[in-house]
Structures are given as C-alpha cells and as structure tokens.
Amino acid sequence: MDIRIGNGYDVHALAEGLPLWLGGVKIESETGCVAHSDGDVAIHALCDALLGALALGDIGKHFPDTSSEFKGIDSKILLARVMELVRSEGWEVCNADITIAMQKPKLAPYIIPMRECLSEIMGVSVGQVSVKATTTEKLGFVGRCEGCEVYAVVLLKK
C-alpha cells in the first residue's frame, strides 16, 4: 500500500472583539484570530498537513493572503478545495490528528462538533479525525493568550 504522512503547523495572533473559528466551529470567546481569512488556525494546519503529505506546497501558495478572493473566506472552503486536490491525485485520508494549544477558553465542549465538521468536509468518519486541546500552562505566547497554535498530522493512502 502506498502511504504518505504530512505535518502542518500554524499560529495566529489573538485580538479582542474578533470571532473565533476553530475546526470549522464558532467558539464562544472574548478573543479571535487576526487573519486575512476567517482565521481558522486548526483548518489551516490541517490543510498544510494534507498538502505536505503530497509535497504540494502550503496553504499560502494555494490561497495567497494577498488575494482579495480569500479575504474573510470561510476556511471550510479552503479545506474542501485541498481535499479535492488530494482526491484528484488519487489519495484518500486514513486519519488526521490535530492538537490545538490555547490558554482559554476551554475547548472541551467543542471537540466533538469540530471532529464532526472536519470529517464531513474530508469525507471520512468521525473516528478518523482526532482533535485534542491543550493549554501551555500559562507559558509562552499561548499561555499569555496572545495567540493560538495548532499542530496537525495526517496519513494518506492510495
């Protein structure tokens, strides 16, 4: 079996009064991600993992933040487009594992909705998409609530 692994990483700064989108789900929060798109840092890391698995560059190459086409865009659309690319190259997703590092708010209530949303877009079962959340014990920029950081890993098979 032909398999590929991909890893993705993304960070966005947080600012007050902005909506917070993570894993395709709107999160109740005092702060949101500063971004050209809707700032869904979890979807961005996931897209980079998918693209990375196939050595197709990164999300910035496919959806440049200088383009007005992508201003304020729903990141779910970006993920759907990346998945089209993955499938057009003959690959399918075995599983994805995403870790979100954020000091607050608590993300536990949103984990299942994020997994459901992402798996639906990716055309896989909820059991193939893991989302985990952690704080950084108040250390670093995440701990100071200055930003949100996400790591993603995917395995693809042909």
Chain residues in the site for Mg ion (CB under 5 A)? 10, 44
Structure tokens at 54: 């196939």
Structure tokens at 142: 């995440």
CB of residue 41 vs Mg ion: minimum separation in angstroms? 5
CB of residue 48 vs Mg ion: minimum separation in angstroms? 8
Main-chain dihedrals φ then ψ at residue 134, nearest 5 degrees: -140, 155
- Kindly tell me which of 10 and 149 has the beta carbon lying closer to Mg ion: 10
- What's at 108, amino acid-wise? A
CB of residue 37 vs Mg ion: minimum separation in angstroms? 7
Which one, of 6, 45, 38, lies nearest residue 19 by Cα? 38
CA distance 149 to 147: 7
- Kindly tell me which of 44 and 76 has the beta carbon lying closer to Mg ion: 44
**Who's near 69: CB < 8 A, 6+ residues apart?**
none
Q: What separation in angstroms does the CA of 116 have from each of 8, 19, 43? A: 20, 20, 13
Main-chain dihedrals φ then ψ at residue 110, nearest 5 degrees: -100, -5
CB of residue 116 vs Mg ion: minimum separation in angstroms? 22
- Kindly tell me which of 4 and 44 has the beta carbon lying closer to Mg ion: 44
- Kindly tell me which of 107 and 150 has the beta carbon lying closer to Mg ion: 150
CB of residue 156 vs Mg ion: minimum separation in angstroms? 21
Q: State the residue number with the nearest CB to Mg ion.
A: 44
- Kindly tell me which of 54 and 73 has the beta carbon lying closer to Mg ion: 73
